[in-house]
Amino acid sequence: MLIERIERVLRANLKEAAHPETPPRLGQALVHAVMPGGARIRPQLALAVSLACGDDDPHLSEHFAGALELMHCASLVHDDLPCFDNAAVRRGQPSVHSQFGERLAVLAGDALIVMAFRSVIRCKTRQAHRLADVLGYLESAVGPSMGIVAGQAWECEPVAQIQVYQRLKTGALFSAATMGGAACAGADPRAWRVLGEALGEAYQVADDIRDVIMDTVALGKPACQDQALDRPSAARQLGLEGALGYFDQLIANAIEGIPACRGAVRLRNLVLKESERLLPLQQRSMALDPLASASMASS
């Protein structure tokens, strides 16, 4: 199972972080930031693409997949800080700064970025000549021009380029997952761009829809943040029905974007399963029936 390989590599990363010399509360904050996880969709995607391409270097693909998740966790910890979203809750438990204070939240985010690079740098790859390429996908997915940091920093600009912002904020790690996953297995990464970009945007649209229709308890984080923080949102721009149609189109694009390969069927199933997890039937009904949604939210 993909998820088991991912949890194993994440546990290994955290164990190393809990070195005797690691300050104990920092170690606890790191575990809190990573465990228990969300759906681990980015690393699952990376590993599924590596498998579809032959996965001839499983150490490299697993550590790259784990590194994507560590980067994602780092971005959540820093996004939740008081100066950004000031979110008290994340994945149904207190956010890192709520539990450990702001200083350890800043440091835990920094540490997770470093641990992500470390995980790939120190993995026992059989293909050392792939290392620079794979690390390149990792760093550009989080960096200041094309990555997560850029996406978050557009929130600090007086005039934000909304499309750029959305693509970077969630799309960067998804594209890195598919293209980097291919690079781990020695395949041509360019053929895998469409799948990553379409899924990344679908993920963002689903998030926008859920932000509107779900309450805080069900969401595991504060609801209606996009409106409260005046953030761009497909649900606000297209309406809930329009956003649902757009989501379905993006999933169709993602499936069409899967290159011909021996793992194509498995990948198609993963994308379909993920689309149902992202927007279950019940939530679709809620999106199309505002009254049901309203009574649900007030219950």
Cβ distance to a copy of itself smaller for residue 150 or 213? 150
Residue 191 in contact with a copy of itself, rule: CB under 8 A: no
Stretch near a copy of itself under the rule CB under 8 A, chosen from 24-32, 174-182, 185-193, 224-232: 24-32
Q: How far is the CB of 172 from a copy of itself (least distance, A)?
A: 11
CA-to-CA distance for 298 and 199, rounded, in angstroms?
32
The residue from 53, 69, 76, 147 that contacts a copy of itself (CB under 8 A) is 147
Q: Residue 135: what are its φ and ψ, rounded to 5°?
A: -65, -35
- Distance, first Cα to last Cα, the chain: 38
Cβ distance to a copy of itself smaller for residue 165 or 247? 165
CB 17 within 8 A of CB 27: yes
Cβ distance to a copy of itself smaller for residue 165 or 246? 165
Stretch near a copy of itself under the rule CB under 8 A, chosen from 73-81, 251-259, 272-280, 287-295: 73-81
The residue from 154, 193, 207, 297 that contacts a copy of itself (CB under 8 A) is 154
Residue 136 in contact with a copy of itself, rule: CB under 8 A: yes
Q: How far is the CB of 106 from a copy of itself (least distance, A)?
A: 6
Q: How many residues touch a copy of itself (CB under 8 A)?
A: 57
Per-residue x/- track, 86-125, a copy of itself (CB under 8 A): --------------xxxxx-xx-xxx-xxx-xx--xx---
Binding site for a copy of itself (CB under 8 A): 16-17, 19, 21-27, 30, 74, 78, 81, 83-84, 100-104, 106-107, 109-111, 113-115, 117-118, 121-122, 128-129, 131-132, 135-136, 139-140, 142-147, 149-150, 152-157, 164, 168
